[in-house]
Amino acid sequence: ELTLLGVTQYYAYVQEKQKVHCLNTLFRKLHINQSIIFCNSTQRVELLAKKITELGYSCYYIHSKMAQQHRNRVFHDFREGHCRNLVCSDLLTRGIDIQAVNVVINFDFPRNSETYLHRIGRSGRFGHLGIAINLVTYEDRHNLRRIEKELRTRIGPIPAEVDSKLYVAEFQHDLK
Amino acid sequence: VVLAQDSLIEEVSFLCNNLSLANLPNKVEDIRKIINDNDDNFREWLAQYLVMKRITLEQNFHALYNGFLLALNDVTLNDMVKLETLRNIKILLKSDKKHAASNFCDRQLLKNLGHWLGLITLGRNEPILLDELNLRDLLLEAFYKGQQELLYVIPFVVKVIISCGKSSVFNPTCAWIHQILQILAEIHRQSDLKLNLKFEIEVLCKELQVNLDNLICDNSLLQDTDRITLMTQQLSEVTML
């Protein structure tokens, strides 16, 4: 059973060609422990992973056309923290159960609510804190509202500053 | 410490978001360049950022950040990081512990900072000086003040000490560490100690391959209340009912 509890969801309106730039901005503004970035096709997974590795990201990728054994290996290494970000297509069926993942990004917005839930949802009653950010193009605008409605959830526009308390575990202001 | 340039903050943020063992040498070069291009104010900001925004919260990457600082090998920055770590630890130790049972958050932060402190001192064969932080007296003080304080202090001390397994100088047989272990063992023998705290101590001993039953001290420091009341207090005052 997957839940969206504890996950704060945002969207950012972008054009296709602005997506990588938008991703860069997110990675300069947020406190990311580990992140998962979803694309809609295996080609786009490989392209994006290659592109952002060149830009200095620490990332692995997995997609459905890779051998299961290879996928397991990559996922295991990611879980162990060998790299910080994972680019992938839709193949995780159980929901993310990696405690360190506090940011999930839909680089491509999914077409239906089931996929959305599988990407963003957490398993277990006490989901860890996290944020989900959807890069939404003009074509995605109806899907966004439909999925929001079907899942009875709220996906708000991303604010200039994302409150750390929403996704950084154990964040404390008193330390200042 | 306030840093004027947002772009600089974002650059460091991006770097930390993407730091990993595989790209460590590159990222070390990147940060070295930034340090050289900026004044000591930046170093100070960086130390604070690393401790407060990263190390305190990202326990899973402690080894990575430690490796990063070791590779960077910047003496000033290392000193600043240690100072900042101790400063944050002291704030948490002095914080109000009345609601300790529910204040899981503060205790977790303190544990994370303790683990980090152990890594960058004991783990690097460097001492924690008594005037920086007196672990032994801290335990005695917590024992004297009660359950709530122990709930904070025991897991913290355990996390610090656990790094002495990696140290050739400060191993469990060194007098300093050994005495702390003895006090932990004596606290462990108190029948009314919370079970999870007993467990923490047992895990530490197992990790360090020390036999808990052999840790016996003839002159008990725990019973010496006169001495304890005269110590410099490191925890907050216990409020009278």
pLDDT per residue as tens digits for the range B167-181: 999 999 999 999 999
Q: Which residues of B touch A36 (CB under 8 A)?
A: none
* Nearest-angstrom CA–CA distance, B95 and B59: 21
Q: Which residues of B touch A171 (CB under 8 A)?
A: 57
Query: Nearest Cα to A129, choosing from A60, A59, A31, A16?
Result: A31
User: What is the predicted pLDDT for the residue at A175?
Assistant: 40
Q: Residue for token digits 């943020």? A: B13
Token readout for A107 is 């680089």
- Contact yes or no for A27 and B105 at CB 8 A: no
Which residue among B14, B60, B92 places its CB closest to the CB of A27? B14
pTM reported for the whole predicted model: 0.91
Does the beta carbon of A170 lie under 8 angstroms from any beta carbon of chain B? Answer: yes
Q: Which residues of B touch A28 (CB under 8 A)?
A: 10-11, 13-14
- Amino acid identity for residue A96 in this structure: I
Residue A132 has pLDDT above 60, yes or no: yes
The partner residues of A36 in beta bridges, in order of sequence, read: A86, A104
Chain centre distance of CA B212: 22
On whether the CB atoms of residues B118 and B66 are closer than 8 A, the answer is no
On whether the CB atoms of residues A64 and A42 are closer than 8 A, the answer is yes
Q: Per-residue confidence at B229, pLDDT binned at 50, 70, 90?
A: confident
Does the beta carbon of A100 lie under 8 angstroms from any beta carbon of chain B? Answer: yes
Does the beta carbon of A160 lie under 8 angstroms from any beta carbon of chain B? Answer: no
Length of chain A, in residues: 176
- Contact yes or no for A32 and B17 at CB 8 A: yes
Which residue among B17, B64, B95 places its CB closest to the CB of A27? B17
Q: What are B59-91's pLDDT values in tens digits?
A: 999 999 999 999 999 999 999 999 999 999 999
Residue A4 has pLDDT above 80, yes or no: yes
Q: What are B194-216's pLDDT values in tens digits?
A: 999 999 999 999 999 999 988 88
Helix (H) or strand (E) holding A50: helix A42-54
Helices B75-94 and B147-161: crossing angle in degrees, nearest 10, is: 160
On whether the CB atoms of residues A35 and A101 are closer than 8 A, the answer is yes
Strand (E) positions, chain A? Answer: 2-3, 7-13, 34-38, 59-62, 85-88, 101-106, 122-123, 130-136, 155-157
- Other beta carbons less than 10 A from residue B32's beta carbon: 14
Q: Which residues of B touch A170 (CB under 8 A)?
A: 56-57, 105, 108-109
Q: Which residues of A touch B58 (CB under 8 A)?
A: 33, 100
Interface of A with B in 107-146 (CB under 8 A): none
What is the 3-class SS of chain B, one letter each residue? CCCCCHHHHHHHHHHHHCCCCCCHHHHHHHHHHHHHHCCHHHHHHHHHHHHHHHHCCCHHHHHHHHHHHHHHCCHHHHHHHHHHHHHHHHHHHHCCCCCCCCCHHHHHHHHHHHHHHHHHCHHHCCCCCCCCCCHHHHHHHHHHHCHHHHHHHHHHHHHHHHHHHHCCCCCCCCHHHHHHHHHHHHHHCCCCCCHHHHHHHHHHHHHCCCCHHHCCCCCCCCCCHHHHHHCCCCCCCCCCC
Tell me the CB-side half-sphere exposure of residue B119, using CA atoms within 13 A.
21
- Contact yes or no for B18 and A81 at CB 8 A: no
Token readout for A157 is 């526009």
On whether the CB atoms of residues A75 and A62 are closer than 8 A, the answer is yes
Token readout for A20 is 């990588």
By C-alpha distance, the chain B residue nearest A30 is B13
User: What is the average per-residue pLDDT within B43-62?
Assistant: 95
- Amino acid identity for residue A129 in this structure: L
Does the beta carbon of A60 lie under 8 angstroms from any beta carbon of chain B? Answer: no
Token readout for B35 is 């340090």
User: What is the predicted pLDDT for the residue at A92?
Assistant: 63
Q: What are A66-122's pLDDT values in tens digits?
A: 998 999 899 999 999 999 999 999 986 566 678 899 999 999 999 999 999 999 988
Mean pLDDT of chain B: 91
- Contact yes or no for A58 and B26 at CB 8 A: no
Mutation for testing the B interface, residue in A55, A58, A171 having most B CBs under 10 Å: A58
Residue B93 has pLDDT above 50, yes or no: yes
- Mapped onto helix, strand or coil, the DSSP state of residue A157 is strand
On whether the CB atoms of residues A135 and A19 are closer than 8 A, the answer is yes
Query: Which ipTM value was assigned to this complex?
Result: 0.91
- Contact yes or no for B13 and A174 at CB 8 A: no
Closest approach of B208 to chain A, Cα-based (Å): 24
User: What is the average per-residue pLDDT within A51-71?
Assistant: 94
